[in-house]
């Protein structure tokens, strides 16, 4: 049944890694002479994490080398939860975030690359803790890309973008070598992009610390910033364009990015999902730029309209969450368009959240086919992506996913409203959390933190961040009775 020993062993391994990253953060604390405020709490956190890691590893030392589907689902979900629990220790122990609800929220918002924050005074935190905060997103982003590209498809979950690639269905024997190969190139692309962004930001006059923090949270499409005012604080068009471009790139399927990096430019541009995604970014940017320019509510010129529109669209389309404007002050139709963008998300196989372009592409083509089918009921009309016909099975999964996504949004909003949060706010926070965006709507828009929410809502949203990050079913499956039955 559930191979608890193996799970424990892997968990020990993951926690060991977490401790290592905490150690790196400790180095930053030393650099900034934050001995009492950060270093000691970090050392304590490392200590606790290592102890838990060792216990877990010890429990799993004679683990059988079998790993079923159920094990993998439980593993992935547990990984995110346990790492978040231990990852909040630096915040708790240092007193930077003394409240457990808030500390857990902030940490899971990190590892799920959401970026919603409860910190009303970000800049008062020790620099090393701000580093840790941004680092959690970088780790979370890398983890999710690795899982969605290399691990989940082997178990038939969220494997859409691999339609054009080789894998299909569970392949027990070949698991480890394949994961190894995938890990290598994913890690390279991820690291390369991060370094490139740091360089470009430095060229824009941003200091090294902030460049690294922002690069961490851009490539992971997380959105945490060491500045309370996010990117707007810099008042620098150059920086805004640089980040907008890197956000857009981070929204692309890593498998497709690999094509570009290995010189297969033609294939890169022919990818169906890429075309939908870029097309969508262009359409929404144009619409919003037009609205801002034509309505002129805040006296913006042509370039500024475009820049504001492009940045916000890129930010929310890729579920990053940076802001250079308080869009709730924009005309209603403009932030309503942004809400739609929040639901859509970018490409599968990237760090973004949302429903994802490939699913939208498939569903739109399916709907068009349905219409054609009404006229020619006996015609057989396949839905094609990258010129491969999509199987019925995948079509069903796409539809199921979207259905469940919307049901969860409705349910979550109702729960929040039950707790006294307003209509627009509830909808905004839930859509933001499940899509791992960051900013909400109305009273919880980009200019405000989520600190004022009731504790119960913070827990609901933490759960939703997890759900969204792990593509819904990975977590939902744990709630079905048949998961826990013997065979």
CA triplet 234, 107, 338: central angle to 5 degrees? Answer: 55
Q: Please report, as residue ranges, which positions from 278 to 307 form the binding site for another protein (by CB under 8 A).
A: 291
Contact status, residue 425 vs residue 440, Cβ threshold 8 Å: yes
Contacts of another protein in 402-431 (CB under 8 A): 402-404, 406, 410, 413-414, 417-418, 422-424
Of residues 345, 237, 238, 207, the one with CA closest to residue 284: 345
Nearest-10 Cα torsion for 212, 147, 24, 97: 80
Which structure tokens are listed for 140?
């979370």
Q: Which residue has the tokens 């890691």?
A: 53
- The closest of 234, 233, 229, 225 to 204, measured between CA atoms, is 234
Q: Write out the binding residues for another protein, residues 322-351 only, by CB under 8 A.
A: 331-333, 336-337, 340
376 forms part of the interface with another protein (CB under 8 A): yes
Nearest CA-CA partner of 307 in 251, 218, 231, 207: 231
171 binds another protein (CB under 8 A): no
| Listed ranges 110-118, 252-260, 446-454, 478-486: which one lies at the site for another protein (CB under 8 A) | 478-486
Helix (H) or strand (E) holding 388: strand 388-389
Question: Which one of 299, 387, 482, 486 is in contact with another protein (CB under 8 A)?
Answer: 482
> Which member of 166, 374, 387, 486 binds another protein (CB under 8 A)?
374
Stretch touching another protein by CB under 8 A, among 36-44, 132-140, 240-248, 371-379: 371-379
Least distance between another protein and beta carbon 292 (Å): 13
The smaller minimum CB distance to another protein, of residues 126 and 158, is found at: 158
Q: Does 227 bind another protein (CB under 8 A)?
A: no
Residue nearer to another protein on the CB measure, 171 or 199: 171
Q: What backbone phi and psi angles, to 5 degrees, belong to 441?
A: -130, 165
Among all chains, which residue has been given the structure tokens 């122990």?
93
Residues near 30 by Cβ (< 8 Å), separated by ≥ 6?
Answer: 39
Tell which one of 396, 452, 454, 455 touches another protein (CB under 8 A). 396
Given the complex with another protein, which of 303 and 370 has the nearer CB atom?
A: 370
- Interface with another protein, residue 400, by CB under 8 A: yes
Segment 20 to 59, residues that bind another protein, using CB under 8 A: none
- Which one, 66 or 332, has the nearer CB to another protein? 332
Name the CA dihedral angle for 225, 230, 235, 237, rounded to a multiple of 10 degrees.
80
Nearer to another protein, 13 or 483 (CB): 483
Binder among 395, 448, 459, 463 for another protein (CB under 8 A): 395
Q: Output the smallest distance, CB 6 to another protein, in A.
A: 18
The structure tokens listed for 141 are: 């982003």
Dig out the tokens for 11 from the structure: 């968990």
d(CA 111, CA 144): 9
The pair of structure tokens assigned to 330 is 């924009």
Helix, strand, or coil here: 166?
coil
Residue 192 within binding range of another protein, rule CB under 8 A: no
1 binds another protein (CB under 8 A): no
Q: Does 389 bind another protein (CB under 8 A)?
A: no
**Binder to another protein among 171, 181, 392, 455 (CB under 8 A)?**
392
Alpha carbons 187 and 111: distance in angstroms, whole number: 17
DSSP 8-class letter at 229 = T
Binder of another protein out of 65, 95, 166, 169 (CB under 8 A): 169
Least distance in angstroms from the C-beta of 361 to another protein: 12
- Number of amino acids touching another protein (CB under 8 A): 51
Q: What is the DSSP letter of 390?
A: P
Nearer of residues 5 and 70 to another protein, judged by Cβ:
70
Q: Which is nearer to another protein, 310 or 473 (CB)?
A: 473
The residues pairing with 389 across neighbouring beta strands, listed in sequence order, are: 384
Residue-by-residue DSSP string for 160-211: GGGGSSS--S--STTHHHHHHHHHHHHHHHHHHHHHHHHHHHHHTT--HHHH
Q: Could you list the residues that contact another protein (CB under 8 A)?
A: 69-70, 73, 155-157, 169-170, 291, 331-333, 336-337, 340, 363, 366-368, 370-377, 392, 395-397, 399-400, 402-404, 406, 410, 413-414, 417-418, 422-424, 473, 476-477, 480, 482-483
């Amino acid at each position: 049944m559930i191979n608890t020993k193996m799970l424990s062993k892997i968990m020990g391994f993951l926690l060991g890694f977490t401790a290592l990253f905490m150690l790196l953060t400790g180095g930053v604390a030393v650099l900034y002479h934050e001995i009492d405020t950060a270093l000691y709490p970090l050392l304590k956190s490392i200590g606790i994490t290592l102890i838990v890691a060792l216990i877990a590893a010890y429990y799993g030392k004679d683990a059988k080398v079998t790993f079923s589907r159920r094990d993998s689902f439980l593993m992935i979900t547990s990984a995110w939860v346990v790492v978040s629990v231990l990852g909040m220790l630096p915040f708790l122990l240092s007193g930077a975030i003394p409240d457990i609800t808030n500390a857990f929220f902030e940490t899971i918002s990190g590892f799920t690359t959401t970026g919603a924050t409860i910190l009303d005074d970000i800049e008062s935190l020790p620099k090393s803790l701000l580093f840790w905060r941004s680092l959690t997103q970088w780790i979370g982003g890398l983890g999710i890309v690795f899982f969605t590209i290399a691990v989940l498809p082997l178990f038939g979950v969220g494997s859409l973008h691999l339609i054009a690639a080789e894998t299909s269905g569970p392949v027990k024997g070949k698991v480890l070598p394949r994961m190894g190969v995938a890990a290598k190139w994913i890690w390279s692309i991820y690291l390369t992009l991060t370094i490139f962004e740091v360089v470009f930001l430095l060229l824009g006059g941003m200091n090294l610390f902030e460049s690294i923090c922002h690069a961490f949270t851009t490539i992971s499409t997380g959105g945490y910033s060491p500045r309370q005012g996010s990117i707007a604080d810099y008042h620098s068009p150059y920086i805004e364009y640089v980040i907008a471009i890197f956000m857009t790139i981070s929204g692309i399927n890593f498998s497709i990015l690999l094509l570009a990096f290995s010189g297969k430019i033609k294939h890169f541009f022919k990818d169906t999902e890429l075309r939908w995604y870029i097309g969508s970014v262009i359409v929404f940017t144009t619409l919003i730029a037009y609205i801002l320019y034509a309505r002129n509510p805040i006296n913006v010129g042509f370039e500024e309209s475009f820049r504001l529109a492009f940045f916000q669209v890129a930010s929310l389309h890729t579920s990053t969450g940076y802001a250079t404007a308080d869009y709730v002050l924009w005309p209603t139709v403009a932030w309503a368009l942004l809400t739609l963008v929040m639901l859509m998300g970018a490409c599968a196989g990237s760090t973004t959240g949302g429903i994802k372009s490939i699913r939208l592409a498939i569903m739109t083509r399916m709907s068009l086919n349905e219409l054609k089918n009404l006229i020619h009921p006996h015609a057989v009309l396949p839905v094609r992506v990258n010129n491969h016909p999509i199987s019925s099975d995948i079509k069903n999964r796409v539809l199921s996913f979207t259905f469940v996504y919307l049901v969860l949004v409705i349910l979550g909003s109702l729960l929040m409203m039950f707790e006294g949060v307003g209509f627009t706010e509830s909808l905004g926070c839930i859509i933001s959390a499940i899509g791992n965006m960051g900013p909400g709507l109305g009273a919880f828009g980009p200019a405000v933190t989520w600190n004022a929410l009731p504790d119960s809502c913070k827990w609901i949203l933490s759960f939703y961040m997890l759900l969204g990050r792990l593509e819904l079913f990975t977590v939902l499956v744990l709630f079905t009775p048949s998961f826990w039955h013997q065979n």
